[in-house]
Amino acid sequence: METYKKELEKQLALLNKLVKLSDNNLKRYCDIPDECILTSSRGNVHQYYRRDLESGKRKYLRKNKLNEIRPIIQKEYERKLNNELHSQLSRVKSFLKNYDISMITDVYSKTCDAKRSLITPIIMPDEEYIEKWFHDNPSGQNTYPVKVTFETMNGENVKSKSEKIIADMLLKEGIPYVYEPRLSLDGGIYKYPDFATLNIGTRKTIYWEHFGRLSDEGYCLSNFNKLMIYERNGIVLGDNLIITMESEDMPLEIRSVKENIKSYLK
């Protein structure tokens, strides 16, 4: 089940930064008096008034006097903003302290086996979901013969050194994957992407194609057609499709593999 703890921690870091900035801004206005500035507006025309301390009546301010009240209004804004930032910071800290999304799936996983066998959980625990995902996405479905293969750390035989690098890195990062599953697409078309991977948090299947012969015009045209078919079937680059590439002059960049794993699968 997807957890938003990392995103909340980013928000907390941002709030801490804004609170510090706001605290410093407010200090700059400590010598500015607290005064209620009255206003009235008609469309885009605004009028400003100061209240006379003796009579209590409001006194209209001409445009050439607006700079007198600008710091007063700014201080009022800074004070309200500061109060809201501290309030938000307190609430996010409190929420994060008690936030543990895994407790939802723990209700099922910590139930005894006898009762769990009779329960249909609202959310399947990660381990069971991954097991089902592997069952639904069998590996090694492309039977096209190749002369040379490379064995991955997971024991598959893949068609290139670059595919081995990708597979080994997925395994190292704990990303569930299968090599060359069969995709049944519209029009009775079958395709065999290099990898199907699973983002455990979002439970989203993301396909990974590595194009390793970009110097070959025919190869490029064939894979361009494949991408067109993918897109017509809802498999779209940047959403549920990752692409890495290389040519004779430009080998696969390990950095690119790592960034794709971090961006789409973590």
Does residue 69 contact residue 34 with C-beta atoms inside 8 Å? no
**Number of neighbouring beta carbons within 10 Å of residue 216:** 14
**How many domains are contained in the chain?**
2
For residues 82 and 31, state if they share a domain: yes
For residues 223 and 175, state if they share a domain: yes
Task: Tell me if 186 is assigned to some domain.
Answer: yes
Task: Tell me if 43 is assigned to some domain.
Answer: yes
For residues 75 and 163, state if they share a domain: no
What is the mean pLDDT of each successive set of 10 residues along the chain, which is 266 residues long?
79 96 95 91 93 84 92 95 97 91 85 90 88 95 87 94 96 97 92 96 94 84 91 94 90 94 93
Q: Which of 98, 123, 150 is where one domain is finished?
A: 98
Identify the CATH number of the domain in which residue 176 sits. 3.40.1350
For residues 159 and 231, state if they share a domain: yes
β-strand 189-191 against 183-185: which pairing, if any? antiparallel
The contacts of residue 230 (CB under 8 Å, 6+ apart) are 185, 191, 207, 236, 241
Task: Tell me if 15 is assigned to some domain.
Answer: yes
Specify the pLDDT at position 1. Answer: 60
Q: In whole angstroms, what is the distance from residue 156 CA to residue 153 CA?
A: 8
- Cα–Cα nearest to 181, from 149, 202, 156, 201: 156
For residues 91 and 154, state if they share a domain: no
Q: DSSP labels for 96-156?
A: HHH--THHHHHHHHTS-HHHHTT---SS--HHHHHHHHHHHS-S-------S--EE-TTS-
Identify the CATH number of the domain in which residue 19 sits. 1.10.287
Specify the pLDDT at position 2. Answer: 62
Task: Tell me if 145 is assigned to some domain.
Answer: yes
Q: In whole angstroms, what is the distance from residue 176 CA to residue 154 CA?
A: 11
Widest CA span of the chain, in angstroms?
Answer: 98
**What stretches of the chain adopt beta strand conformation (E)?**
37-42, 45-51, 58-61, 150-151, 157-158, 177-179, 183-185, 189-191, 195-199, 204-211, 241-245
Task: Tell me if 105 is assigned to some domain.
Answer: no
For residues 78 and 161, state if they share a domain: no
Q: Which of 98, 128, 152 is where one domain is finished?
A: 98
Phi, psi torsion values for 114, nearest 5 degrees: -60, -45
For residues 12 and 90, state if they share a domain: yes
Task: Tell me if 124 is assigned to some domain.
Answer: no
Q: Which of 98, 125, 149 is where one domain is finished?
A: 98
Would the pTM of this model clear 0.85, i.e. be above it? Answer: no
For residues 88 and 171, state if they share a domain: no
Task: Tell me if 187 is assigned to some domain.
Answer: yes
What range does the domain containing 238 cover?
137-265
Task: Tell me if 113 is assigned to some domain.
Answer: no
